[in-house]
Structure 1
Amino acid sequence: MNKHFIRRTALVAAAGAASFVLAACGSDKDASAGHDGHGSSASATASAAVSQGEHNAADVAFAKGMIPHHRQAVEMADLASRRAQSAQVKILAGEIKKAQAPEIKTLSGWLTSWGEEVPAEGVMDHSMHGMDGMMTGEDMDSLKKSSGKAFETAFLEMIIKHHEGAVDMAKTEKADGSFPDAKKMADAIITSQTAEISRMNSLLGTG
C-alpha cells in the first residue's frame, strides 16, 4: 500500500508541475502577443490619437499666421544685410534671419502633419498687412528704394512694429493654444523678440 500511495503521489505531483509549466508558457505567449500583436497595435493607435489631439484651432491659426509673418521679417532682414551701413544693424538682421527661417520650416511641418494647408509664398505674404505688424506692399517698396541712414531708420522702425505684432500673436498662442511645441515656440518668440525690440530702440536712440 505504501508503494502504491507513494507512486500515486508522485504522479499527481508530476502532473501538477506539467500543468504549471504549460500555464506559464501560455501566459508568456499571451503576454508576447499583447506586446507584439494586438496589444501593441492598440497602444500605437491610442498614442496616435493622443498625438493628433494635441493641437487645436488656435495652434493652426498661430502657424498659418506666423509663417507669412516670419517670411516678411526674413525678407526685411535680407535687405538690411545688404543695405545697412551699421555693423550692429547687420548683425541684428543676421540673427533675425537665423532664428526665423528655421521656424518657418517647423511651422510648415506642423501644418502638413495636421492635414492643414501651408500658406503660399509670394504676394500672399503681404495679404495680412495692417494685422500683427505686417508691412504693406507699399511699405516694402519704400524700404527697398531707401539707402544709407534713411534705410536703417526705416528698417528699424518697421521691424520693431513687426516684432511687436509677432509678440502679440505668440501671447495669444500661449493663452489659447494646446500643442506643446507651438506654445514652447511662442514663449521663445516672446523672449527673443522682446529683447530685440529693446536693442532696436537703443539703436534708434529712443531706448
Structure 2
Amino acid sequence: MSAVLALTAAAGCSADEEKDSGAPIIVPGEVGESSKTVAPESLKTPKDDYNDVDREFVEMMVPHHQQAVEMSALAAKHARASEVKGFASRISDTQRAEIDALQGWLETRGLPKASTTPTGEHVTHMQGMLTPAQMDELAAARGRAFDRLYVKRMIAHHEGAIAMADEALSSGIDTVNRAFAGDVMASQSAEVTRLRDILLTL
C-alpha cells in the first residue's frame, strides 16, 4: 500500500537518506481527492511535529491490526470458501506490514512501541474490536458458519478502523500519519464493499 511505503520511508530513514534516495513517493489524497507524487524530502516530519491524536491513533491501530491478523489466521485454518481464504490472506500480509511501519513511526519519535493487545484507556476508545468471547466463538466455528461469522465481524472491524482513521485525518497534524489514515479509509472502505459482496454468496 502506498501509505505504508510513505510511513516506512519517514519512520526508517534519516533526512539525508531520504534526500540521497531521490525516489518519489506516492501519497494518497484525502477522501474524494486523487493521489499525488512527492519528493521524499517533502515528507520529512520533525519528531515533535505530531499531536496526541496522531500518537493515540498509531498506538491503537497496532492492536487493531493485530486482531485482524489473528482473525485471518483462523480463516486460514477453518474457512471453507476460497473467497474468504483469499481475502484473509491479503489482510494478514497487508496488516502485518502496516504494524511494522506503525511501530517504526513510534520508534522514530522516541515513543515506546505499541502493545499488540489493547491496554489502558485505548480499550474503550478502539472501535470495531472483537471481545474475547467473540474471538472464542469465531475460533470454534467451522466451514460455512465460520465464513459468515468471519465476514460479518471483519466488516464491523473495518468500520471501526475507518472511524478511527477519520478522527486521525480530521484532528491529526503529522503529514505521514494523515496520509496513512487516508489510505486506511479508502482501502478498508473498498474492502467492506468486497466483504459485503462475498457475504451474499455464502
TM-score calculated relative to the size of structure 1: 0.70
- Partner Cα distance (1:122, 1:133) in 2: 14
- Partner Cα distance (1:148, 1:51) in 2: 49
- Partner Cα distance (1:51, 1:168) in 2: 26
After superposition, the C-alpha distances for 1:82-117 in whole angstroms (9 at most, x for unaligned) are 211111111111111121111101111111222222
Q: Which residue identity lines up with residue 117 of structure 1 in the other structure?
A: P
Q: Which residue identity lines up with residue 108 of structure 2 in the other structure?
A: S
- Partner Cα distance (2:123, 2:82) in 1: 31
SS at match of 1:51: coil
Q: Which residue identity lines up with residue 67 of structure 2 in the other structure?
A: Q
> Match for residue 66 of structure 1?
61
Pick aligned residue for 1:138 from 126, 133, 142: 133
Q: Which has the higher contact order (CA 8 A, sep 6+)?
A: 2
Bigger helix fraction: 1
- Partner Cα distance (1:81, 1:50) in 2: 38
- Partner Cα distance (2:185, 2:45) in 1: 28
Give the unaligned 5+ runs of structure 2: 1-43
Cα RMSD between the aligned structures? 2.2
CA contact 1:59–1:173 (8 Å) conserved in 2: yes
1:1-207 alignment runs, 5 A limit: 51-121=46-116, 124=119, 128=123, 131-205=126-200
Q: Which residue identity lines up with residue 116 of structure 2 in the other structure?
A: E
- Partner Cα distance (2:180, 2:68) in 1: 16
- Partner Cα distance (1:74, 1:94) in 2: 9
Aligned residues: 157
- Partner Cα distance (2:187, 2:78) in 1: 24
Q: Which has the larger radius of gyration?
A: 1
- Give identity over the alignment, percent: 34
After superposition, the C-alpha distances for 1:50-89 in whole angstroms (9 at most, x for unaligned) are 6123211111011011000000001101111221111111
SS at match of 2:98: helix
CA contact 2:63–2:116 (8 Å) conserved in 1: yes
Q: Which residue identity lines up with residue 175 of structure 1 in the other structure?
A: S
Q: Which residue identity lines up with residue 136 of structure 1 in the other structure?
A: T
Deviation of residue 128 (structure 1)?
2.6
CA contact 1:73–1:96 (8 Å) conserved in 2: yes
Give the unaligned 5+ runs of structure 1: 1-48
Q: Which residue identity lines up with residue 87 of structure 2 in the other structure?
A: L
CA contact 1:129–1:135 (8 Å) conserved in 2: no
After superposition, the C-alpha distances for 1:117-141 in whole angstroms (9 at most, x for unaligned) are 223235759x737841000111101
Cα 1:138–1:50 shift into 2, 3 Å:
closer
